[in-house]
Amino acid sequence: MPSDSISPATPALRGRHALITGAGRGIGAAIALRLARDGARLTLVGRHADTLQRTADRLPAGAEVQVLACDISQPDAVAAVFAQARAGFGPLAMLVNNAGQAHSAAFGKTTLDDWHQMLAVNLTGTFVCSQAALPDMLAARAGRIVNIASTAGLRGYAYVAAYTAAKHGVIGLTRALALEVAARGVTVNAVCPGYTDTDIVREGIERIVGKTGRSADDARAEFVKSNPQGRLVSPDEVADTVAWLCADGAAAITGQSISVSGGEVM
């Protein structure tokens, strides 16, 4: 081999087991693709196995992946799925709490059921999954928990009070847990995307068009006007941030809420 040749770099996360919730589409699917390229062994979790399988089918050739259907708002189901995940790929080194839902309504029209659903999926699901993953990381004295929050967790948004409250809760949980495990080799961070080019935003644009008769371009402008860059965030940009937090170079980063929003939150 010539002396000036460079050996291929070892993938940053080779062999490390990562569980990603809400991995069937959007940001979760982008995170799965990125972590697979970095060599992680992936457990993809979500409510619909067929949607998860479509993500699995897009991963690079040779990627190690298992698909497990679960409603993360149900603690017993979470416990069972985490046991299955360990049986397949061993202890967890990384958890990405990405699963979430957004419900839009005026505050006075937000029902108690809506409120409970937003808390159950966005906040309680993050809590339950973190509790399930943490023993592996503490035993290894190494681990990464990354919570996908939102700029809604850093500021207020009208007409999504329950969602905003839940995402503020995710950031509070991130900070509290980060302090508890900081000296034990585990980091806990939140990634806070602004409006991102996903099915959820596209569906929101369709609702605006249907209710107001405005054009799709006008409706889209409502979503990008708060972003100083004047655009939607790409799911890949969120995934890149998650991958950085999962890698060894981010070992000193914990308890942070990182805005990926084109400057919307500074």
Predicted TM-score (pTM) above 0.85 = yes
Q: With cut-offs at 50, 70 and 90, classify the pLDDT of residue 30.
A: very high
Over residues 27-42, mean pLDDT: 97
Out of 157, 159, 163, 195, the active site residue is 163
Please give the Cα distance from 98 to 219 (Å, whole number). 26
The DSSP call for residue 45 is E
Per-residue confidence (pLDDT) for residue 33, from 0 to 100: 98
Please give the Cα distance from 74 to 185 (Å, whole number). 28
Percentage of the chain beyond pLDDT 90 is 85
Over residues 76-94, mean pLDDT: 97
pLDDT digits (tens, 9 = 90+) for 253-265: 999 999 999 999 9
Q: With cut-offs at 50, 70 and 90, classify the pLDDT of residue 84.
A: very high
Per-residue confidence (pLDDT) for residue 1, from 0 to 100: 43
Over residues 36-46, mean pLDDT: 97
Q: Which among 244, 246, 150, 166 is positioned nearest to 200, based on CA atoms?
A: 150
Over residues 76-102, mean pLDDT: 97
pLDDT over 90 (residue 81): yes
CATH topology of domain 17-194+234-256: Rossmann fold (3.40.50)
Least confident of 63-77, 80-94, 140-154, 200-214: 200-214
Please report the DSSP string for 66-134 in residue order: EEEE--TT-HHHHHHHHHHHHHHH-S-SEEEE---------GGG--HHHHHHHHIIIIIHHHHHHHHHH
pLDDT over 60 (residue 7): no
Please provide the average confidence, as pLDDT, over all residues in the chain: 94
Domain boundaries, the chain: 17-194+234-256, 195-232
pLDDT over 50 (residue 2): no
Tokens of 11: 């993938």
pLDDT over 90 (residue 249): yes
Please give the Cα distance from 226 to 232 (Å, whole number). 10
Q: What is the CA radius of gyration of the chain?
A: 19
pLDDT over 80 (residue 9): no
pLDDT over 50 (residue 204): yes
Active site residue 163: yes
